[in-house]
Amino acid sequence: MMEFAADFTAIDFETASRQPDSACQLGAVVVRNGQVVDRFMWMIRPEPLYFSQSNIRIHGITPAQVRDEPTFGEIWSDVHAKLGDDCLVAHNASFDIRVLLACLRTHGHPVPEMQFTCTRAIARRTWPHRHRFGLKPLAQWLGIRFQHHDALEDSLACAKILLAAGIDREVSSLDDLEQSLKLSRGRAGSWGLRGPTTNSRKRPVRKNHQSTSPKPAPGLPFLFPNQTSENTEHASSGNQPEYEIDMQRILIRGEFVRPLHGKRIAFVGKLKSMSDSDAEILTTRLGGIWQAKVNEETDYVVIGSSRKMCDFSREEPLEKNGEDDSNAFQIVNEKEFLNLVTSGV
């Protein structure tokens, strides 16, 4: 799997009213080589100190909470130092960039040249089958837990959505992702702003395996990278599969949630939903450690359809530190294992 080693800073503003220069909170999340390395949050006293009730209902910030906080003009030198020359990333980025420009102008600071991109536009091109592209529904779909309308939490969710898109598209950098999606970067400066635009009217063609792989046969729950309908048991049988999961979603989500983190998994018997190599891929991508054989360090033993749990339980128990420890690992069937890795999806 190619590593998505992107560098960027995700930002999010909360405002006190409909006025774009009424910023009351700013969050920023710095990503280097595809990893979150720093987080910042500033509470801001807007001038004038006026909050509309509708905005308070959205983010819960009140005038009393920011009355003693610095203005945007007072924090800008610190903010500018933290943002540097990074590509800025935001969800509905034109809103956040307009707030930034308005605050700079109101407080008399020169507007630097900036480049930015939008995770809403990226998500629309990465997952065109989705029906909703708001920050909250996208985050929920990807298994990202966050407190919506908190500037720092929203920035972190935004960063993770971009990382998920890069992982899904199997690219190595933000430039490669934008090129893959035929999306040009937005620009802003003292002259105004120009948002991200599509370089071509044609829908971008995926470069990974999904662009050339056969479509799943009716009823097939998923295809792994090395599977086609010709070598999948479900397709040949024509029966409705017993296990219904969205593998693409699980693998993307696994980069963040890691439901098998640190757990050692061994598979015994033939699986219905995946091959042995696919079981190894799934285990490692979700943070687990795949084992070819059961030993004293095993946490879960997954029993395939060709073996019965009761038969495996009757086998000679493992010895651990010279003592009988037949309960050292948990025995689950294939359906229970899939429920384990898809919990919360």
DSSP letter for each residue of 45-83: --SS----HHHHHHH---HHHHTTSPPHHHHHHHHHHHH
Say how far apart CA 219 and CA 207 lie, in whole Å. 25
Say how far apart CA 300 and CA 190 lie, in whole Å. 59
Say how far apart CA 338 and CA 321 lie, in whole Å. 31
Please give the pLDDT value at position 99.
97
What is the number of other CB atoms lying within 10 angstroms of the CB of residue 285? 19
Q: How many residues does the chain have?
A: 345
Please classify residue 166 by burial: count the beta carbons closer than 10 Å to its beta carbon, then call 0-12 exposed, 13-18 middle and 19+ buried. buried
Residue type, 253: R
Domains defined for the chain, CATH in brackets: 8-198 (3.30.420.10), 214-342 (3.40.50.10190)
Answer whether 281's CB lies under 8 Å from 222's CB.
Answer: no
Joined together, the tokens standing for residue 251 give: 């693998």
Say how far apart CA 221 and CA 248 lie, in whole Å. 11
Say how far apart CA 101 and CA 107 lie, in whole Å. 10
Say how far apart CA 61 and CA 65 lie, in whole Å. 7
DSSP-derived letter for residue 33 is T
DSSP-derived letter for residue 279 is H
DSSP letter for each residue of 136-149: HHHHHHHT----TT
Please give the pLDDT value at position 127.
94
Give me the helices (H) in the chain, please: 53-59, 63-66, 72-83, 93-106, 119-126, 135-142, 151-169, 174-181, 233-237, 247-257, 276-285, 309-314, 334-342
Joined together, the tokens standing for residue 183 give: 């999306």
The three-point CA angle 87-258-256 to 5° equals 15
Any idea of the CA torsion for 219, 161, 21, 48, to the nearest 10 degrees? 90
Q: Which residues of the chain have pLDDT under 70?
A: 1-2, 200-258, 305-328, 342-345
Please give the pLDDT value at position 343.
59
Residue 284: phi, psi to the nearest 5?
A: -70, -40
Q: Using alpha carbons, list the distances in angstroms from residue 81 to 84, 86, 102, 186.
A: 5, 11, 19, 21
Say how far apart CA 340 and CA 321 lie, in whole Å. 29
Nearest to 249 by CA among 121, 155, 138: 138
Among left, alpha and beta (phi > 0; psi -120 to 50; other), residue 111 is: beta
Joined together, the tokens standing for residue 234 give: 């479900």
Please give the pLDDT value at position 262.
82
pTM of the model: 0.63
Please give the pLDDT value at position 295.
84
In this predicted model, what pLDDT tens digit does every residue of 89-129 receive, in sequence order? 999 999 999 999 999 999 999 999 999 999 999 999 999 99
Please give the pLDDT value at position 13.
97
In this predicted model, what pLDDT tens digit does every residue of 305-337 receive, in sequence order? 666 555 555 444 444 444 444 446 888 888 888
Please give the pLDDT value at position 177.
96
